[in-house]
């Protein structure tokens, strides 16, 4: 940032952002499916001592590599198994991403752009929200960004030795990205680089990639785990490299198919309050990055990287909002560069259209009960509306105050105010989700049945699998006539599965003690089969029973 903010003020700003950033990691209940799944897999790693083969519900689970599982398991070992330790990797890598774009901005575009980039990234709603949810996307976003930014810095270095060091860091970043979420950590940056060379008609940057030392470091990072897991599980190769990296992205196999325009509203809302500036910056980057032979354009590359990520996942057969995250670090840098070049009045006019967008969100919150599908949702949604309205109102005030500061030619302070109000908006809105998390979490079930759950007592999950309950009760299930995402693991170890209700009945009767959880509709079915059960818990979704 510019000299209007002193070094001391910058430190206070960093502390303030850090406090807001990490404040609610423990507050919110884990919700299914992702948060329950990615909290449970490392818990089972710690319990079993097997850090090579990821398992979910004690079944082999090869969807993703283990880096985040390992990091979370270490947090469990050091600090205990809590909601905040299950989310700490997302929170840390998200916050580290702010420091990373600041450093990259310093090296590529200068101090003022660096400060703006960190503030923009930390306050972009989608980035801020996903940084506080236990998924794998923030970790892979950080390490891919590390690889990309280190490569960009290397391109600007004139000394071969310095180029080599930065490229070694870039290859290491891509290796850690692969360990975070698979081959996309290498394939996506590589494809973006190829597209840049084609569009710019400049292949000179390949001379600075230092393939030999870089690939050596890359394979040193990724090879040990892949070797060990394939040695222990010969079936791993087909499942991980073929199914997870081809089938799921080219088919509708996972049930995540969405139309081509799926990401349009997600990007528009996720970039708030910088949405208009984002498009202005992308257009400016394309114009300013015109081809100059043998001259590398970091702005043009960042633009190509961001657009490629959007297009790639748009044409994918599997879509989730968090897939857009790798766009946001490069977009933050492009927006920061644009901010250093535009006048205050231009930025003010780019912020004003955000207000009607926010008013639409408030209108949505006021009518959120209309979107309820169940009586429970109709009861809980209005409570969440109060949090949404509060959070969005803070951002509305922030936009208005920033516009006033811009009118007074105080761009830097306007950006600070806008960024802090947007971060607060995201944190308040996310924290408020706790009011409706009841129907997507089993924490209340765990509290109600904790005295019945014992390590030696078998626990059956009938016709369903509640993703968050195993983490809270520290106990896995034997699945009964339900497979879903664990179908592959069941295929490998069928003895851990009960295929039908008829098979379950004699097993239940043979137990001295046993517990079972099931959806409401399953209880009368078991009654008709003559299963003796004592109900120990019941809500609007689940029943938990004990063998008499």
- pLDDT 10s digits, 149-208: 999 999 988 899 999 999 999 999 999 999 999 999 999 999 999 999 998 888 888 888
pLDDT class for 365, splitting at 50, 70, 90? Answer: confident
Q: Do 479 and 392 belong to one domain?
A: no
What is the pLDDT, as a whole number, of residue 200?
Answer: 84
**CA gap 203, 194 in Å, rounded:** 9
What is the share, in percent, of the chain residues with pLDDT greater than 90? 81
Structural domain harbouring 525: 443-546
Residue 113, both tokens: 């752009």
Residue 37, both tokens: 């799944």
The mean pLDDT of 470-498, rounded to a whole number, is 96
Q: Does residue 294 fall inside a structural domain?
A: no
Q: Does residue 415 fall inside a structural domain?
A: yes
The mean pLDDT of 229-252, rounded to a whole number, is 79
Q: Does residue 481 fall inside a structural domain?
A: yes
Q: What is the pLDDT of residues 426-455, one digit of tens each?
A: 999 999 999 988 889 999 999 999 999 999
Asked if 462 contacts 504 with a C-beta cutoff of 8 angstroms, the reply is yes
Q: Do 412 and 474 belong to one domain?
A: no
Q: Do 510 and 476 belong to one domain?
A: yes
**pLDDT for residue 1 is more than 50:** no
**pLDDT for residue 423 is more than 90:** yes
Q: What is the pLDDT of residues 24-37, one digit of tens each?
A: 999 999 999 999 99
Asked if 225 contacts 179 with a C-beta cutoff of 8 angstroms, the reply is yes
**pLDDT for residue 255 is more than 70:** no
Domains contained in the chain, number: 2
Final residue of a domain: which of 391, 412, 440? Answer: 440
* 284 or 275, greater pLDDT: 275
What is the pLDDT, as a whole number, of residue 261?
Answer: 87
What is the pLDDT, as a whole number, of residue 456?
Answer: 95
**CA gap 445, 539 in Å, rounded:** 9
Q: Do 449 and 539 belong to one domain?
A: yes
Q: Do 540 and 448 belong to one domain?
A: yes
**pLDDT for residue 256 is more than 70:** no
Q: Does residue 466 fall inside a structural domain?
A: yes
Q: What is the DSSP letter of 30?
A: P
The long-range contacts involving 327-330, CB below 8 angstroms and separated by at least 24 positions, are: 327/267, 328/121, 328/124, 328/126, 328/127, 328/141, 328/270, 328/271, 329/97, 329/100, 329/101, 329/121, 329/141, 329/145, 329/148, 329/149, 330/145, 330/148, 330/302, 330/303, 330/305, 330/306
Q: Does residue 257 fall inside a structural domain?
A: no
Q: Do 425 and 447 belong to one domain?
A: no
pLDDT class for 2, splitting at 50, 70, 90? Answer: very low
Q: Does residue 119 fall inside a structural domain?
A: no
Q: Do 418 and 469 belong to one domain?
A: no
Q: Does residue 447 fall inside a structural domain?
A: yes
Question: Tokens 């044409």 sit at which residue?
Answer: 315
What is the pLDDT, as a whole number, of residue 251?
Answer: 57
Q: Do 457 and 474 belong to one domain?
A: yes
What's the sign of the alpha-carbon dihedral 272, 135, 103, 24? positive
Q: Does residue 351 fall inside a structural domain?
A: yes
Final residue of a domain: which of 440, 463, 483? Answer: 440
Q: Do 368 and 450 belong to one domain?
A: no
Asked if 448 contacts 395 with a C-beta cutoff of 8 angstroms, the reply is no
Residue 6, both tokens: 């002193």
Q: Do 429 and 414 belong to one domain?
A: yes
Final residue of a domain: which of 425, 440, 455? Answer: 440
Of 8-12, 17-21, 133-137, 214-218, minimum mean pLDDT range: 8-12
Q: Do 449 and 537 belong to one domain?
A: yes
Q: Do 423 and 434 belong to one domain?
A: yes
Of 137-141, 177-181, 251-255, 355-359, minimum mean pLDDT range: 251-255
């Amino acid at each position: 940032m510019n000299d209007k903010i002193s070094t001391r003020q910058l430190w206070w700003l960093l502390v303030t952002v850090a406090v807001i950033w990490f404040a609610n990691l423990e507050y919110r209940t884990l919700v299914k499916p992702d948060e329950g799944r990615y909290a449970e897999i490392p818990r089972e790693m710690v319990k079993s001592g097997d850090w090579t083969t990821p398992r979910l519900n004690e079944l082999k689970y090869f969807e993703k590599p283990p880096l985040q599982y390992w990091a979370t398991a270490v947090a469990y070992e050091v600090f205990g198994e809590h909601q905040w330790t299950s989310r700490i990797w997302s929170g840390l890598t998200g916050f580290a991403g702010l420091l990373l774009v600041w450093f990259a901005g310093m090296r590529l575009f200068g101090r003022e752009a660096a400060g703006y980039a960190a503030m923009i990234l930390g306050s972009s709603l989608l980035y801020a929200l996903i940084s506080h949810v236990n998924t794998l996307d923030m970790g892979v976003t950080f390490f891919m960004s590390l690889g990309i930014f280190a490569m960009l810095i290397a391109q600007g270095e004139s000394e071969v030795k310095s180029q080599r060091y930065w490229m070694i860091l870039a290859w290491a970043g891509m290796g850690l990205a692969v360990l975070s979420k698979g081959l996309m950590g290498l394939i996506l940056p590589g494809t973006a680089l190829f597209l840049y060379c084609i569009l710019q008609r400049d292949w000179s940057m390949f001379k600075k990639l230092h393939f030999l030392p870089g690939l050596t470091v890359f394979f040193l990072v990724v090879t040990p785990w892949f070797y060990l897991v394939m040695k222990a599980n010969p079936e791993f190769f087909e499942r991980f490299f073929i199914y997870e990296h081809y089938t799921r992205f080219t088919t509708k196999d996972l049930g995540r198919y969405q139309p081509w325009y799926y990401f349009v509203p997600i990007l528009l809302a996720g970039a708030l309050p910088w949405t208009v500036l984002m498009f202005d910056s992308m257009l400016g980057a394309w114009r300013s990055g015109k081809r100059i032979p043998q001259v590398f354009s970091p702005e043009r590359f960042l633009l190509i990287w961001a657009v490629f990520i959007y297009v790639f996942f748009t044409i994918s057969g599997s879509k989730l909002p968090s897939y857009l995250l790798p766009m946001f670090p490069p977009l933050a840098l492009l927006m920061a560069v644009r901010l250093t070049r535009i006048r205050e009045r231009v930025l003010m006019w780019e912020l004003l259209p955000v207000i009607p967008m926010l008013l639409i969100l408030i209108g949505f919150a006021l009518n959120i009960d209309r979107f309820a599908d169940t009586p429970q949702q109709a009861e809980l949604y209005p409570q969440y509306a109060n949090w949404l309205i509060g959070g969005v109102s803070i951002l509305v005030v922030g936009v208005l105050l920033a516009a006033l500061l811009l009118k007074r030619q105080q761009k830097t302070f306007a950006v600070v105010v806008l960024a802090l109000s947007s971060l607060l908006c995201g944190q308040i809105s996310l924290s408020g989700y706790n009011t409706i998390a009841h129907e997507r979490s089993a924490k209340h079930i765990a509290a109600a049945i904790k005295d019945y759950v014992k390590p030696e007592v078998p626990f059956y999950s009938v016709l369903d699998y509640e993703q968050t309950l195993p983490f809270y009760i520290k106990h896995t299930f034997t699945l009964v006539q339900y497979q879903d995402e664990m179908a592959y693991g069941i295929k490998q170890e069928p003895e851990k599965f009960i295929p039908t209700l008829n098979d379950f009945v004699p097993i239940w009767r043979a137990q001295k003690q046993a517990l079972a959880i099931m959806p409401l509709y399953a209880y009368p079915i078991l009654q008709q089969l003559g299963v003796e059960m004592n109900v120990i818990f019941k809500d609007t979704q689940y029943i938990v029973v004990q063998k008499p």
